[in-house]
């Protein structure tokens, strides 16, 4: 089993940056593809980004490409989501998740473990 705990969310103005953290316990983050998802009120949860468990290749949703960066620090057993140039449409609860699938995946049903979420609110 693995437990995931997100932190770093908050209320910010549009255009600023935030860095979210996801710290794992029980197992190492290097054993899983680690993804970030987000869910706005009244909307379905959507994929944001994922980092491969092997060599660290990444993939991003079009809505965040060029603004968000996912990274992993194996020594700290932590995955980060650097969010730059935040927009009001980025407002959501952000979740980190771990997938044990063979290939990196964007499908939430392919993720086995989820954090509790951290709220990001971007005002205009």
Query: CA 86, CA 33: separation in Å to the nearest integer?
Result: 25
Place of tokens 């994922």: 50
Backbone φ and ψ of 16, nearest 5°: -90, 180
Cβ–Cβ < 8 Å for 49, 64: yes
Residue 22 has pLDDT above 90, yes or no: yes
Q: What are the pLDDT digits (tens) for 39-91?
A: 999 999 999 999 999 888 999 999 999 999 999 999 999 999 999 999 999 99
Confidence at residue 10, expressed as pLDDT on a 0 to 100 scale: 97
25-34, 61-70, 96-105: least confident range: 25-34
Cβ–Cβ < 8 Å for 4, 22: yes
């Amino acid at each position: 089993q693995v437990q995931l705990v997100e932190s770093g969310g908050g209320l910010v103005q549009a255009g600023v940056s935030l860095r979210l953290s996801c710290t794992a316990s029980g197992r190492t983050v290097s054993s899983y593809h680690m993804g970030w998802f987000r869910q706005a009120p009244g909307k379905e949860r959507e994929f944001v980004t994922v980092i491969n468990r092997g060599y660290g290749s990444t993939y991003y949703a079009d809505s965040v490409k060029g603004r968000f960066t996912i990274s992993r620090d194996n020594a700290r057993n932590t995955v980060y989501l650097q969010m730059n140039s935040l927009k009001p449409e980025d407002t959501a609860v952000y979740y980190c998740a771990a997938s044990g699938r063979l290939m990196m995946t964007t499908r939430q049903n392919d993720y086995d473990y989820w954090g509790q979420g951290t709220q990001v609110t971007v005002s205009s």
